[in-house]
Structure 1
């Protein structure tokens, strides 16, 4: 899988919680980690922009600089340059270039949690590609619809979000029957993952877990996927299992997350996984193993200067002392 097909949902799947001194998993899902920004499934290939413009064209160079700023999380610079690129495309009357720039703007707005702005832009992109002949079964239209459902979810418009996800899943399952391409499967995994997280927010943990597990199983079959994405997904599955009382399964997921996370240099959330594993062992009254896990989390917190992990590990160790 090329870089343009990195999983954009990796940076958009945050479940916000507050750290509390209670025996529970951290439910840690990191949104803004240093991975490619939300440009996955880029319309650059899907609308054939690169084929229509020379690689040295001024517009292409401007867009590439925009993407570079986004990858560096220099969002203000990216937005300013995107408006320059849009003006260039409009002066050239390059319709596919305009569409692509709107798409990048929409993803940037979604990245910055500017949901109303992102919604307007994604709708504009959908309208433009449909005016160019795309139908509602077109992969690009479904892609936009998934993002619009995600925006409704983030705005807590849960009924609208559910209707959107249901429509997208129906279209994607039909598309895969016709063409089981990896692109179609990637979109389905993204939709399932986001849909699962919607159910978590609605306290429907069993249903949410089923969708997230299905998404994870699809992810593991892809030819190229970031290990860091899989690690976070494993931790989240373990957290949901803990919430619904499946402690043995949660331990299995946390352990897999740790084992895979060790293969990633400077994995930022590794300490989180150790705390979660320790708390799961506390629930089984296996205090020696829990103490070892939380102690390791504390050391990682100190080494990586992560005060949240260090604090949670200290709470975990205190709980062990109080109960053992």
Structure 2
């Protein structure tokens, strides 16, 4: 997995987009640096095919690489401008694979920027181009795009359309994994399950949503290149859902795992998030002393990391404890 892919789609599962305030005073602070496996957020299309047909120093290849570099740096306007230049270059030399790849990068960039209607149109174009080139609906590239189209419907609150899309994709992906359980296939299945689970949360079907999210987490832990940052966010989200449906012991287990794993990440500034959520879970069990210790540690981390959101939430948690004693 390349650093380019890690950086490009690091925010796909951030809490601001997919987690919810599921309990009173639940802490849904957004970690700022979350990386996901490449296939979760980016594309199954790669530069490899282009570089085999063109000189690696070709102007088109360099333009595309500069586009990706701008995206890595969050310089989205510059990336989009250069993508249009690259698209024109590809069209001038009639490089069909290059055109498809650039449209795909444009679509993913639009999705990253929450420009959902634009992203949808571009993903449809990419899908049409791939299928015109011989791909069938069982092609993993087509399914990958279909998952993202379902996600777009989900984010636009078109829940019926989103559910139909997720169901279709999960059926295809489960078949693909049963036949060929590669890490690429399992990653895509895990992404679809996680997003589908979060759709059920929005529809107040927390038990169903939890099952899909748990399944996605288990698959991600089985893969060799899943980053710790991704797993700690999944653990925190699972703990939050468990609190909402009254599974407090399970929530404590998830939050504790998130803390243990978060400690292994150098300079992870959002570790205090998990301590505060753990403290609130302990409050549900009237374990005042343990809750005070956990929220207090979260406050210390907020101060140490100069993270005012964590510090503020920890202070609210501590005030809750005072009100109970």
With normalisation by structure 2, the TM-score equals 0.93
Name the residue aligned to 2:57: 56
Give per-residue Cα distances to partners, 1:158-194, cap 9 Å, x unaligned.
Answer: 1100000000000011111221111111110010011
Bigger Cα displacement from structure 2, 242-251 vs 35-44: 35-44
Q: Counterpart of 1:41? A: 43
Aligned positions of 1:119-268 closer than 5 A: 119-268=120-269
1:87 is the counterpart of 2:88? yes
Indicate the SS of the match to 2:92.
Answer: helix
Instruction: Give me the CA root mean square deviation.
Output: 2.2
Deviations 1:36-83 (A, max 9, x none): 7985334116x8223222211111111111111101111111111111
| C-alpha distance in structure 2 between counterparts of 1:96 and 1:315, whole Å | 54
Structure 1 consecutive aligned stretches of length 4 or more whose deviation exceeds 6 Å: 17-20
SS at the partner of 1:305?
coil
Change (3 A) 1:176 1:75: same
Given that 1:4 and 1:39 are in contact with CA atoms closer than 8 Å, whether structure 2 keeps it comes out as: no
Deviation at 1:269, TM superposition (A): 1.8
Deviations 1:219-241 (A, max 9, x none): 01111111100011100000110
Contact 2:255-2:278 within 8 A present in 1 as well: yes
Q: Displacement, 1:142?
A: 0.2
C-alpha distance in 2 between matches for 1:294 and 1:54? 57
Deviations 1:230-269 (A, max 9, x none): 0111000001101110001000000000010011112132
Contact 1:19 1:26 in 2 (8 A): no
SS in 1 for 2:114: coil
In 2, the alpha carbon distance for the partners of 1:146 and 1:19 equals 21
Q: 2: CA distance between counterparts of 1:259 and 1:64?
A: 37
Contact kept, 8 Å, 2:8 with 2:71, in 1: the verdict is no
Decide whether aligned partners of structure 1 residues 34 and 77 sit closer, same or farther in structure 2, where only a CA change above 3 A counts.
farther
Alignment CA distance shift 1:163-1:7 (3 Å): farther
Q: Distance in 2 between matches of 1:71 and 1:248?
A: 39
Residues 42 and 108, structure 2, Cα contact 8 Å, conserved in 1:
no
Residues 103/238 of structure 1: CA separation in 2 closer, same or farther (3 Å cut):
same
Structure 2 equivalent of residue 288 of structure 1: 289
Deviates more, 1:111-120 or 1:263-272: 263-272
Residue correspondences, number: 321
* Cα gap change, 1:127 to 1:105, in 2 (>3 Å): same
Q: How far apart, in 2, do the equivalents of 1:7 and 1:19 lie?
A: 24
8 A Cα contact 2:200 2:206, kept in partner: yes
- Cα distance in 2, alignment partners of residues 19 and 53 from structure 1: 46
Q: For residues 255 and 228 of structure 2, what CA distance do their matches in structure 1 show? A: 15
5 Å matches for 1:7-26? 11-16=11-16, 23-26=24-27
SS in 2 for 1:137: coil
Q: Structure 2 CA distance, aligned partners of 1:39 and 1:84?
A: 24
Distance 1:57 1:19, change over 3 A: closer
Equivalent position of 1:308 in the other structure: 309
* Deviating more after overlay: 264-273 vs 252-261: 264-273
How far did 1:23 drift?
4.6
Q: Which secondary structure does the structure 2 equivalent of 1:113 belong to? A: coil
Kept in 2, the 8 Å contact 1:149–1:165? The answer is yes
Q: Which runs of 5+ in 1 are unaligned?
A: none
CA distance in 1, matches of 2:79, 2:181: 35
